[in-house]
């Protein structure tokens, strides 16, 4: 298994053991072939769920990153972190993409085409993937604010069971705010991260515990040099179970003599931040949050 892979073990996927490959699937997945354009069953597929590797069952793409590029093959502008590996294609011109878990051939990746704000197109053979409906693999959301969202996003991205993390704004009164508006401190929004996770791999309480370890919850309306209500420590719970899990940790910290200024409020609309804020530290190679014991 690739050192980079932070996803789910194939044996633990909801679909269990994947069936044996037929000759056509072997030709594409193991011999790096290509199915004819517009012939695959997932080319125009629009249902919500997760796309798995047909060879081993590892999760590769979420339906929210699928888009219609008109190329004749399923297109995705982002993968589940660590699930897909890029490598030079044998033709010396293109970049091949393979499952990071089993090396199964998926297709090729292209950049610079400007189909979506992420400017990336994973051109994937339908034969190489299998779809799992959202109803058969219920994922959960968590929303945390702990200062500048760049470091917070990067820290959560590497936790096993976390499928996606995106930076954004929540808790305020302005619809679809810009970064510049939030920075004024007048919108009421906090810089936050929205996490999509698999509760069978990581619990909400584990995520909340990590949240308290990567920042100073005693600081009110600031984190380090970043000052303002937009940098407040806050947990935006999506249900009563999340609320109780967060209260449990706060109670434990208080009993240990630690001051906690973290706000605990119901989740409202989460507005994704501008594209240049997403995976900021990954793009720029800066240091992120340090986990405290």
For β-strands 263-266 and 233-237, DSSP reports them as: parallel
Say whether 148 is catalytic.
yes
Q: Edge-to-edge strand order for the sheet containing 233-237?
A: 263-266, 233-237, 140-146, 190-197, 162-170, 271-272
**Cα distance from N-terminal residue to C-terminal residue, the chain:** 29
Catalytic residue among 15, 123, 183, 289: 123
DSSP letter at 36 equals P
* Alpha carbon distances (Å) from 77 to 62, 66, 69, 192, 236: 10, 7, 10, 22, 28
Q: Is 289 annotated in the active site?
A: no
> Running DSSP on this structure, what letter comes out for residue 177?
-
Active-site residue among 56, 99, 148, 289? 148
DSSP string spanning 101-151? TT--EEEEEEES--SSTT-EEEEE-GGGEEEEEGGGS--EEEEEEESSHHH
Q: Of the candidates 123, 134, 143, 256, which has an alpha carbon nearest to the alpha carbon of residue 192?
A: 143
Q: Would you please indicate which residues are annotated as catalytic (active-site) residues?
A: 123, 148
């Amino acid at each position: 298994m690739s050192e980079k892979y932070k996803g789910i073990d194939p044996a633990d996927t909801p679909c269990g053991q994947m069936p044996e490959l037929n000759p056509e699937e072997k030709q594409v997945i193991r011999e790096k072939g290509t199915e004819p354009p517009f012939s695959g069953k997932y080319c125009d597929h629009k249902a919500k769920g997760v796309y798995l590797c047909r060879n081993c069952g590892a999760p590769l793409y979420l339906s929210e990153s699928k888009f219609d590029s008109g190329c004749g093959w399923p297109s995705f502008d982002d993968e589940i972190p660590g699930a897909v590996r890029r490598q030079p294609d044998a033709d010396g011109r293109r970049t091949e993409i393979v499952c990071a878990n089993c090396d199964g051939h998926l297709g090729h990746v292209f950049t610079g085409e400007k189909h979506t704000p992420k400017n990336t197109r994973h051109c994937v053979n339908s034969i190489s993937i299998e779809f799992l409906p959202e109803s058969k693999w219920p994922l959960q959301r968590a929303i945390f604010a702990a200062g500048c969202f760049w470091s917070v996003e990067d820290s959560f991205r590497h936790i096993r069971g976390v499928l996606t993390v995106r930076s954004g704004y929540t808790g305020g009164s302005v619809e679809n705010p810009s970064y510049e508006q939030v920075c004024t401190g007048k919108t009421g929004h906090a810089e936050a991260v929205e996490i999509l996770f698999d509760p069978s791999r990581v619990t909400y309480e584990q995520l909340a515990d990590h949240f308290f370890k990567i920042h100073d919850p005693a600081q009110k309306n600031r984190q380090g040099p970043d000052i303002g209500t937009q940098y407040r420590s806050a947990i935006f719970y999506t249900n009563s179970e999340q609320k109780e899990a967060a209260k449990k940790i706060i109670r434990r910290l208080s009993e240990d003599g630690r001051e906690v200024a973290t706000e605990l409020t119901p989740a409202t609309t989460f507005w994704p931040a501008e594209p240049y804020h997403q995976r900021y530290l990954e793009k720029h190679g800066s240091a992120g949050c340090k986990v405290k014991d």
